[in-house]
Amino acid sequence: MSKNKVLNYINGEWQPSATADYIDVVNPATQENLGRTPLSSAKEVDDAVQAAAAALVEWRQTPSTDRIQYLFKLKNLLEENFEELARTITMECGKTLGESRGELRRAIENVEVACGIPLMMQGHVSEDIASGIDELMIRQPVGVCAAITPFNFPSMIVFWFMPYALACGNTYIVKPSEKVPLTMKKIFQLLDQVGFPKGVVNLVNGAKEAVDAILDHPTIRGISFVGSTPIAKYVYTKGSANGKRVQAQGGAKNPIVVLPDADMEMAKQITADSAFGCAGQRCLAGSVAVTVGESQGPFTEAIMEAANSRVVGYGLDEKVQMGTVINAQSVNRIESLIQQGVDEGAKLIVDGRSASIPDYGKGSFMRPTVLENVDPAGTLAQTEIFGPVLSLIHVNTIDDAIQFVNSGQYGNMACLFTASGAAARKFRYEVNAGNIGINVGVAAPMAFFPFSGWKDSFFGVLHGQGRHAVEFFTQTKVVVERWPKEWSRKF
Ligand code: NAD
C-alpha cells in the first residue's frame, strides 16, 4: 500500500523516505488504517538541514515586511481549508470536530500574531552613551531551527513556534508525532501552495532516530519540543549539551480548586469540560478537583451528573461531546492507573472503563471516570493519566488546597473557582504553576501571551507564542559605534 506512505517535504519537494521502517496511522474510533508513517533516518534529517541552511542565506536577507506576506497567504489558505483540516485532526487523533476546530483556530491566531514581526523584532538604540558614541541592539535570526511535537494537538503546537521562526528570518524543520502525521502533511501542502522559497520549511516524519539526529546536528541552532516530561528532559539535556537553545514543554497534572462560595453550576460545567474535553488528553486538562469545606457535597453530586451525561462517540458526529483516546495501549494504561488508585483506597463513583460505543466496538473509547477519597500523595493524584479521569480530593481550607497544588512535580496549570477577589489574588500569588485559571478551567494563553509551564512541565527559559517566541527565534547583537564629529566637517 505504498500510496498510503506519508512523504517527507524537503527542499520544496515531496520525497519518499528511504527507510524500511513504517508505523501505521490508525483512526482510533473506526480502526481504519489511514496511512503509514516512515521512521526517517538521520540522513533524511541531514538532507532537510542542508536544504534549510542553504535557504537561510536569502531568507534572512528578505525584508521582514516581505516575509510576512507568506504568512498572510498561509492564514488565508488555512481558513479556506479549515473544515478539511479539522476533519483530518479528528480522524487521526480522535477528538471531537469542535475540539479540532478550536485547536486550528489557535494555530491561525499564532500566524496572525507573527505577522506583527516587523514591529516585534525591532531592536533599540541609545545615542551618546559617551560623547559621539551610540549603541544599538539589533535582533537577528538564530539560523536553522526545528520543532518536535506530540500527538494530542496535531496542528496547533507547531504553530506556537513555526510562524515566529519564519517571520524572524529562520528556516525550519518540523518533526510531527509519528502517531498523527496526516494533519501536518496537509498543512505542508498548504505551505507548498504558499510558495515559500525552497528549503525554508521542511517536514521530516519519524521517531527517535529523527529526534536524535535533530539533537546532534551541528547546524541546527534552536529546538522547540512539546511532549511528555521524560522526553522533554532528554531533549533539553542533550540539545543544550550540544550548544543549542532549547525550549521543552513537558507533561502536566492540573489541579482545580473549588471554594464553597463558587458558582457551583459554572464550576461543574467548566471542570467537566476541562477534565473530559479532548478525552483528558490536553496538557491543560484538569485532572484533580480539590473541594474546600462545604463545596464537597454539591460539587461531587454535580460533577457525577456531568460525567454520566457526557455524550461519547465518534468525533465526526457533531452531537458527540467526547471522542476517543489515542489508541488501545492508552486505554489499557489509563484503566490500570484507575485500578491502582482503587487499590490505594480511592472510591470509583463514575466508572468509565470498558466503554462500548454502538457501531464503534473496536474503537479506543473510555467514558468519563470520577474517583473520590483519592490519596493526595498517591498514584491518581500525582501521575499524569492523560485520559478522561477526574480525581476528587477534599480539604478544609484554601491554604491546605494551595499546599496540595504546590506539592506536585508539575506546574503547567492550576485553576480556582470562587466569587472572592481576595481568594483569587492569594491563589494567583502563591501557586507554583505557569498558567492560572480563575473561574476558567483550561487557562490556555492566547497567541500573544507565552505558554508558561513551570517545574517539570517546562525546561528552558523562553516559552512558545508571542514575545517569548520572538526572543527565542532571534539572537541579540549589540553594536557600539564611534563616529567622531570632526569627520563630518569634510562634507
Ligand atoms: P511523547 O513524549 O511520547 O512524544 C513527543 C515527541 O517526542 C514525538 O514527536 C515523539 O516522536 C518524540 N519521542 C518519543 N519518544 C522519544 C524518545 N525516546 N526519544 C526521542 N524522541 C522521542 O509525547 P506524546 O505522547 O506524543 O504527547 C503527550 C504528552 O505531551 C503528554 O505528557 C502531554 O502532557 C504533553 N504535552 C505537553 C504540552 C505542554 O504544553 N506542556 C502540550 C501538549 C502535550
Question: Does some domain include residue 244?
Answer: yes
Nearest CA residue ID for atom 16, ligand 1: 208
Cα-to-centroid distance, 412 and ligand 1 (Å): 15
Domain check: are 304 and 404 in the same one? yes
**Tens digits of per-residue pLDDT, 172-226?**
999 999 999 999 999 999 999 999 999 999 999 999 999 999 999 999 999 999 9
CATH number for the domain harbouring residue 132: 3.40.605.10
Strands 124-130 and 171-175: unpaired
Classify residue 197 by its DSSP letter: P
Q: Taking residues 226-231, what's their average pLDDT?
A: 98
Q: How far is the CA of 284 from the centre of ligand 1 (A)?
A: 14
Asked if the structure places residue 488 within a domain, the reply is no
> Nearest residue CA, atom 43 of ligand 1?
283
Mean pLDDT of the chain: 97
Distances from the Cα of 143 to the Cα of 58, 349, 368, 389, angstroms: 12, 53, 45, 42
Q: Amino acid identity, residue 477?
A: K
pTM of structure: 0.98
Residue type, 235: V
DSSP state of 103: H
216 and 316 housed in the same domain: no
User: How much is the pLDDT for 491?
Assistant: 72
What is the Å distance from ligand 1's center to 355 Cα?
A: 26
374-418 pLDDT, tens per residue? 999 999 999 999 999 999 999 999 999 999 999 999 999 999 999
Any catalytic annotation for residue 283? yes
Is 207 touching ligand 1 by the criterion CB < 6 Å?
Answer: yes
Please check whether residues 122 and 244 belong to one and the same domain: yes
For the stretch 277-321, pLDDT in tens is: 999 999 999 999 999 999 999 999 999 999 999 999 999 999 999
Query: What span, in angstroms and rounded, lies between the C-alpha atoms of 89 and 103?
Result: 9
Same domain, 281 and 337: yes
Domain match, 297 and 241 both: no
The minimum-distance atom of ligand 1 relative to the CA of 212 is 20
330 Cα: distance to centroid of ligand 1 (angstroms): 14
Q: Are residues 83 and 209 in the same domain?
A: yes
Q: Is the CB of 227 under 6 A from ligand 1?
A: yes
Give the pLDDT confidence of 105-116 residue by residue, as tens digits: 999 999 999 999
Within this chain, do residues 320 and 246 fall inside the same structural domain, yes or no?
Answer: no
Cβ-contact 82, 195 below 8 angstroms: no
Query: Is the C-beta atom of 149 inside 6 A of ligand 1?
Result: yes
User: Looking at the domain assignment, is residue 448 inside a domain?
Assistant: no
Closest CA to 254 of 445, 442, 388, 462: 442
CATH number at residue 292: 3.40.309.10
Residue 80 CA to residue 109 CA, distance in Å, equals 15
User: Looking at the structure, do residues 101 and 185 belong to the same domain, yes or no?
Assistant: yes
- pLDDT given at position 243: 98
Same domain for 427 and 310: yes
Question: Exactly one of 93, 115, 145, 283 is catalytic; which is it?
Answer: 283
φ, ψ dihedrals at 252, nearest 5°: -160, 160
Scanning the structure block, which residue is given the C-alpha cell 480522524?
A: 91
Number of structural domains the chain divides into? 2
- Cα 306 from Cα 448, distance rounded (Å): 33
Query: Where residue 489 falls among pLDDT bands split at 50, 70, 90?
Result: confident
Q: Is residue 400 part of a domain?
A: yes
Any ligand 1 atom below 6 A from CB of 451? yes
**What SS3 class is residue 430?**
helix
Torsion of CA 84, 85, 88, 89, to 10 degrees: -140
Nearest-CA neighbor of 306 among 262, 258, 270? 270
452 found inside a domain:
no
pLDDT (tens digit, 9 = 90+) per residue, 253-268? Answer: 999 999 999 999 999 9
Q: Please report whether residue 473 resides in a domain.
A: yes
- Cell 539526529 identifies what position? 213
Q: Is the pLDDT of residue 2 over 70?
A: no
Q: What is the pLDDT of residue 1?
A: 43
pLDDT in tens, 318-336: 999 999 999 999 999 999 9
Asked if 120 and 72 sit in the same domain, the reply is yes
* CB of residue 44 inside a 6 A radius of ligand 1: no
pLDDT at 3 over 70: no
Whether 250 lines ligand 1, by a CB cut-off of 6 Å, is: yes
Q: What is the mean pLDDT of residues 448-469?
A: 98
Asked if the model's pLDDT at residue 246 lies above 50, the reply is: yes
State which ligand 1 atom lies nearest to the alpha carbon of 249.
41
**Cα(416)–Cα(77) distance, integer angstroms:** 38
Structural domain includes residue 152 = yes
- 176 domain-assigned: yes
Cell numbers representing residue 309 in the block: 451525561
CA-closest residue to ligand 1 atom 18: 208
> Are residue 362 and residue 228 in the same domain, yes or no?
no
The pLDDT value given to residue 485 = 85
- What is the domain range of residue 79? 8-250+457-478
Residues 302 and 193 reside in one and the same domain: no
